[in-house]
Structure 1
Amino acid sequence: MNSVSPKETFIVIAASILFLLFQWLVVGLIPAQILMVVLFNLLFFLHPISRKLAMALLPFVFFEMSYDWMRLYPNYLVNPIDIQGVYETEKALFGITTENGTLIPCEYFNLHNNAVADFVTGLFYLCWVPGPIAIAIWLFFKGQRDYCLRFTWAFLFVNLVGFIGYYIHPTAPPWYAIEYGFEPDFTTPGNVAGLGRFDELVGFPVFTSIYVNNSNIFAAIPSLHSAYMTVATIYVVYSKQSYHLLLVSLWITIGIWFTAVYSCHHYIIDVILGIATALIGVAIFEKGILRIPAINHFFQRYTNYIS
């Protein structure tokens, strides 16, 4: 495949325009989405290799779309929000006894933090999506296109499973309980919480610019931040990558788990359920979905397309 067919050109351009129009008119368009569409089109039309890479990374585009479209019908309209229950459970299971009483780990880190930890954990958290994308690109250029596709689509599937969890059990993050108490306020904006200390250190609103566009603050369970690199690490193992890459992937994964709690964005409970979502989601995808004949055939054709 050396050139883009007229049919492919029409599909990609039409889909790009329709997506941007839908975002603008219905959901709300943000600069990051325009950049995403521009980058995808550049990759698709630039060169045969970059076109194959764009198609391999397409599930990340679907992930962003599906996450943002939850604005259309927020989870807190489906089920009651858990604010106090998860807070009290976290305290009962993981509470830290201090001279000021029992604190949840997030409250403890709010009182005990330092610049080095703030900087390092901020770097870890910046890897939540770039890390998986980097692993996908690595697999692509290593020539393991089948594992690349299995990983990117498993990543999307795990996110969809997590989104279902958001609707089953809407949950406030720990920073909400700490700052606003246990009464739900649907007008509360996204909050950078402990990651604001990283922004102050670097002198640039890195995380502030991200969380200002948070589509739903009542979506802490499961912690998909904790699931993202977990899925990536699973496929590093599946595809039998080098020991060094596995160590790096594990290090980043564990760093993100810790940062989720250190920054007050997630309870330990959220992190555990996020890891479970990754493990269960990948197991269902690999042992169930991919074994459906029609889907297996689709993946074979997909792999051939990007090979």
Structure 2
Amino acid sequence: MTGLAAHVTSLWGRWWIAPFLPALYVLALVPAGMVRPEHVVIAGAVMALGLWPQTKGLVAALYPGIFVAILTDAMRFVVPLFVTAGRVHGCDLRALDLALFAVATDTTPGDWLQRHISPFWDVVFAIPYAAFLYVVPLYALYLFFRDRERMSFYLWAFAVAHLIGYALWLIVPAAPPWYIRANGCLIDLAAAPSAAGLLRVDQLLGITYFHQFYGRAANVFGAMPSMHVVFPLIGLLTAWRSIGWRTRPVHILYASAMMVASVYLDHHWIVDGLAGVVVAVAAVAITARLLKRPWP
């Protein structure tokens, strides 16, 4: 056994491939010319930290999140194999929102909000949408030093929620509200992704952040369940037994703001958000059972 192989095996045992998996994924993208700078950065960081004894534990603890990052990126290859135009739900979801939550004749809450947009609320509701990508790793790192058992619970529930959510994206492909407003009920699989209401924030601030971020979305027709709603709920539910009412309102405010923002920014119908609530609860319950943690 070579020195490197012995070193890796001593650190990871039978999971020796773990520090190399993101790099192998990047190598698989090279022939198709689909490698982006963030792919290289993540792969390099995981390999470097995973091979250093002092930080191997951090990489191992964060691995459910690393798995989700790879899975999320790989969805662009999986979606075309399962999603066809005839299977995509569009105007029927608007009709369901209308039947359940109509605020006026032929007016869903999302319709009403689109008629009452303002720069102030655009910025307010852009905050949770801008923050979610950074909240997850930063919160996980905080828990790594503060409460590793809760970190494990949080990240594994996060991973389970993605497996459920992505499976539903393939089983029940759904068009977001902005697509219906722009294209009507006709489903075009070649439609480009959009940041929807967040484009107004780009224009207001003179930036292209949201346009570029959502322009790389792997799946236009993945509105149900809303994974944006899932993210803060996973944090709230996995922390519920461990925190008091000094910090619990922060979790509740974040989850509530994300739910409202998802509708205001025209990314989701209310039923998409409710589906996200069900996915979050199911993922936490499944993870609690797997990890033998008391919940709720």
Pair in the same fold by TM > 0.5: yes
2:111 maps to which of 107, 110, 125: 107
Deviation digits for residues 69-112 of structure 1, max 9, x if unmatched?
Answer: 22223141497011111111112222232xxx522222222221
Contact kept, 8 Å, 1:79 with 1:169, in 2: the verdict is no
Quickly say closer, same or farther: Cα 1:203–1:38, change in 2 above 3 A.
farther
Is it true that 1:68 corresponds to 2:73 in the alignment?
yes
Instruction: Provide the residue aligned with 2:221 in structure 1.
Output: 218
> SS of the residue aligned with 1:243?
coil
- The Cα of 1:31 is off from its aligned counterpart by 2.7
Instruction: Provide the residue aligned with 2:181 in structure 1.
Output: 178
Once residues 248 and 113 of structure 2 are traced to their aligned partners in structure 1, the CA distance between those partners, rounded to angstroms, is 29
Kindly, what percent of the aligned residue pairs are identical?
24
Normalising by structure 2, we get a TM-score of 0.87
Quickly say closer, same or farther: Cα 1:27–1:190, change in 2 above 3 A.
farther
Q: What letter is aligned with 2:102?
A: G
Contact kept, 8 Å, 2:85 with 2:189, in 1: the verdict is no
Contact kept, 8 Å, 1:79 with 1:170, in 2: the verdict is no
Written as runs of structure 1 = structure 2, the 5 A alignment for 1:106-125 is 106-125=110-129
Deviation digits for residues 160-205 of structure 1, max 9, x if unmatched?
Answer: 0111111121110011101111111111111010011121222211
Instruction: Provide the residue aligned with 2:209 in structure 1.
Output: 206
Written as runs of structure 1 = structure 2, the 5 A alignment for 1:24-63 is 24-25=30-31, 28-44=34-50, 48=54, 50-63=55-68
Q: What letter is aligned with 1:281?
A: A
2:240 maps to which of 222, 237, 258: 237
Quickly say closer, same or farther: Cα 1:78–1:178, change in 2 above 3 A.
closer
Instruction: Provide the residue aligned with 2:7 in structure 1.
Output: 5
List alignment gaps of at least 5 residues for structure 2. Answer: 1-5
Normalising by structure 1, we get a TM-score of 0.84
Deviation digits for residues 232-252 of structure 1, max 9, x if unmatched?
Answer: 1112213x1353332222211
Between stretches 70-79 and 127-136, larger displacement belongs to: 70-79
Written as runs of structure 1 = structure 2, the 5 A alignment for 1:119-138 is 119-138=123-142
Instruction: Provide the residue aligned with 1:82 in structure 2.
Output: 89
Once residues 277 and 29 of structure 1 are traced to their aligned partners in structure 2, the CA distance between those partners, rounded to angstroms, is 31
Instruction: Provide the residue aligned with 2:257 in structure 1.
Output: 255
- The Cα of 1:24 is off from its aligned counterpart by 2.8
Instruction: Provide the residue aligned with 1:160 in structure 2.
Output: 163
Deviation digits for residues 14-46 of structure 1, max 9, x if unmatched?
Answer: 434311111333593233322322333454356
Quickly say closer, same or farther: Cα 1:18–1:273, change in 2 above 3 A.
same
Once residues 78 and 264 of structure 1 are traced to their aligned partners in structure 2, the CA distance between those partners, rounded to angstroms, is 21
Alignment root-mean-square deviation, CA: 2.4
- The Cα of 1:63 is off from its aligned counterpart by 0.6
